[in-house]
């Protein structure tokens, strides 16, 4: 077995043992080390590109076979097909999912809202599996603060750098700072659009757009918008400030204004603020590294 996988397994087992003994703070520390190992392992081993990701899913089906939960295994070929085509995966092909913390049973769709059929554990004992950590719960106060910090971080990341420097990719296959800003600006526009619709319309249908596909620049690092990094950063900051001003005046009920999304299902102003603030945060290491002429963690 890969030594890194062995470390992951040992850390997980020790954390579980500490929890069983009531040593919860000890388990917290070991789970932090576990998370570190998983993040670094995934970063090194994750497949690249749609075709590579689709092949990886198909390899899982072939190699793990009966070890996969049958209802998950049945859905994975559809996942591979969507990824290979570059299309988003609708909720109908990947329904709400929870895992029973007591016995590990995977519950999908309507079953995910019921007691575990295997051990009887109630819904409260289940772990909800979010499509991405951007959608995990947060308060409006936390998100308002994060959105403001994010606005300042984008401006600071490119401050004092020339547009010529920011247009150069740190190495082949990596985004330049300018390309990363294109991506962030597109997502910020989508965020502003959705906030506006959620507040103005009753249960709007929100189109799903794969922002990571629509904002890719050419292999020659020519920005798809033909705008400079300084212009893109200024536009991002202005748009974020406008959206922030709108959100800061919302009543508690307005944060729960909802719409329907083909990937996520029911979404609210609150969950969209969580998604887009965290989306930006996930790209900040990439942006600051590219502005320095390097790739993240190097």
Which residues does residue 261 pair with via DSSP β-bridges, in sequence order? 265
Taking the chain (298 residues) in consecutive chunks of 10 residues, what is each chunk's mean pLDDT? 91 98 98 97 93 97 95 97 92 96 96 95 96 96 98 97 96 94 94 96 79 38 73 98 97 97 93 97 96 88
As a whole number of angstroms, the distance between CA 286 and CA 33 comes to: 23
Taken as a whole, the chain contains a residue count of 298
pLDDT of residue 215: 40
The arrangement of secondary structure in 134-292, i.e. its CATH architecture, is Up-down Bundle (1.20)
Alpha helices in the chain (DSSP H): 3-20, 24-45, 49-64, 70-85, 140-158, 163-166, 177-200, 211-214, 229-248, 269-292
List the chain domain ranges.
134-292
Tell me the backbone φ, ψ of residue 98, rounded to 5 degrees.
Answer: -135, 155
- Report which DSSP code applies to 104: -
Q: What is the pTM of this model?
A: 0.90
pLDDT of residue 208: 55
């Amino acid at each position: 077995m890969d030594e890194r996988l062995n470390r992951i397994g040992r850390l997980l087992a020790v954390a579980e043992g500490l929890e069983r003994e009531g040593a919860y703070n000890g388990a917290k520390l070991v789970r932090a080390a576990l998370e570190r190992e998983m993040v670094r392992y995934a970063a090194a081993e994750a497949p690249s590109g749609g075709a590579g990701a689709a092949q990886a899913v198909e390899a899982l089906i072939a190699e793990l076979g009966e070890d996969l939960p049958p209802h998950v295994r049945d859905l994975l070929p559809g996942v591979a097909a969507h990824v290979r085509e570059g299309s988003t995966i609708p909720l109908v092909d990947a329904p709400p999912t929870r895992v029973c913390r007591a016995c590990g049973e995977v519950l999908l769709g309507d079953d995910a809202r019921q007691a575990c059929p295997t051990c009887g554990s109630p819904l409260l004992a289940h772990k909800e599996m979010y499509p991405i950590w951007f959608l995990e719960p947060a308060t409006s106060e936390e998100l308002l603060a994060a959105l403001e910090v994010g606005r300042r971080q984008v401006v600071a990341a490119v401050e004092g750098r020339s547009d010529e420097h920011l247009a150069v990719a740190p190495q082949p296959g990596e985004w330049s700072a300018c390309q990363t800003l294109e991506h962030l600006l597109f997502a910020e526009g989508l965020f502003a659009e959705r906030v506006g619709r959620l507040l103005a319309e009753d249960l709007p249908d929100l189109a799903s757009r794969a922002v990571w596909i629509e904002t890719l620049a050419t292999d020659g690092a020519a920005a798809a918008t033909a705008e400079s990094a300084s212009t893109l950063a200024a536009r991002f900051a202005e748009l974020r400030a406008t959206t922030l001003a709108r959100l800061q005046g919302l009543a508690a009920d307005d944060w729960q204004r909802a719409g329907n999304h083909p990937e996520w299902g029911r979404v609210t102003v609150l969950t969209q603020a969580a998604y887009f603030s965290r989306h930006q945060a996930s790209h900040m290491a990439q942006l600051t590294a590219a502005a320095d002429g390097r790739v993240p963690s190097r």
